[in-house]
Amino acid sequence: MTGLFPAGAWPWMAGLGGLILGSFLNTLALGLAGGASPWRARSACPACGHRLAWFELVPLVSHAFLGGRCRYCRARLSLLYPLGEALTALTALACFWRFGPTLEAWIALAFCLVLLVCALVDIKSMLVPDSLALPALALALIFSPWLPGPGFWPALAGAMFIGGGMWGVALLFRSWRGLEGLGLGDVKLGALMGAFLGPVGGGLALGLGAAAGLVFYLALLAAGRVAWRSRLPFAPFLALGGAAMCLAGDWLGPLLLGVWP
Ligand SMILES: [Zn+2]
């Protein structure tokens, strides 16, 4: 596959492909979030039901061109669409930038895109889709002996350690405060990150995600945008930590472990 483009062109071609793929992933996320029929939802305005023309479905460009509004009823279209498209493109670019045109790049891309779709669904519906997280977890474990990555036993240990630890925290929260602090969907996503990154990488990804989530929550709290103890989707922060460790774990891991006393 290296011969398809010059090696330096791969990240940019991947980014362009990611823009188009992002449009499809939005549709998938919308369907998993339990909206209307996903194909219809993407191809028609959710407010007035007007069918969108092909040029209104061009990733990013259409949103900017139409000012983020439906051309017919002027209803505001969700910012999640251009966000999903831009993040998919950025993810594809980053994976091929980091790993070159290799099998590793494709596998990292698959992992990061599963995280991205789970994050988008969580933002839309406050749920992490089992139908995506669980098969991804199973695939990561089954193929771990042959994939570049931690190998089978570290993958299994990572899934059990991260998933089990988060599950324990979720149960503790519930029995102690009657709080739904951590959803079971977050636990499954944590297990997936553990399986893909191993116990150490997965733990660091979880720590990074939790820290990012906490900072974001405190910032919203300080700005008066959320109430104390209101729930935020956690999957976007987990996804951020997972993607960071997947793409930059080789220097981020030692850095974080070095800072740890
Ligand atoms: Zn409309």
Per-run averaged pLDDT (10 residues), the chain, 261 residues: 72 89 83 62 72 73 78 81 91 94 93 95 89 93 88 94 93 77 88 96 96 94 83 93 95 84 51
Evaluate whether residue 172 is within a structural domain. yes
Cα 232 to middle of ligand 1, angstroms: 29
Cα 38 to middle of ligand 1, angstroms: 17
Shared domain check, 161 and 70 = no
Cα 47 to middle of ligand 1, angstroms: 5
User: Would you state the pLDDT for residue 94?
Assistant: 95
User: Would you state the pLDDT for residue 245?
Assistant: 96
Cα 71 to middle of ligand 1, angstroms: 7
User: Would you state the pLDDT for residue 131?
Assistant: 87
Cα–Cα distance between 91 and 15 in angstroms, integer? Answer: 8
Shared domain check, 137 and 96 = no
User: Would you state the pLDDT for residue 238?
Assistant: 97
**Amino acid in position 44:** A
Shared domain check, 140 and 24 = no
Cα 77 to middle of ligand 1, angstroms: 9
Domain range for 31 is: 1-101
Evaluate whether residue 118 is within a structural domain. no
Cα 19 to middle of ligand 1, angstroms: 23
Cα 152 to middle of ligand 1, angstroms: 50
Cα–Cα distance between 25 and 227 in angstroms, integer? Answer: 32
User: Would you state the pLDDT for residue 28?
Assistant: 82
Shared domain check, 253 and 146 = yes
Cα 162 to middle of ligand 1, angstroms: 44
Evaluate whether residue 15 is within a structural domain. yes
Cα 31 to middle of ligand 1, angstroms: 19
Cα 53 to middle of ligand 1, angstroms: 12
Cα 40 to middle of ligand 1, angstroms: 13
Residues 6 or more apart in contact with residue 234 via CB below 8 angstroms: 122, 182, 183, 186, 209, 213
Query: For the whole model, what pTM was predicted?
Result: 0.88
Cα 44 to middle of ligand 1, angstroms: 8
Angle at which helix 130-142 crosses helix 184-222, to 10 degrees, equals 120
Shared domain check, 75 and 28 = yes
**Amino acid in position 175:** S
Contact indicator for 155, 140 with CB cutoff of 8 Å? yes
Shared domain check, 141 and 97 = no
Last residue of a domain, one of 57, 78, 101: 101
Evaluate whether residue 117 is within a structural domain. no
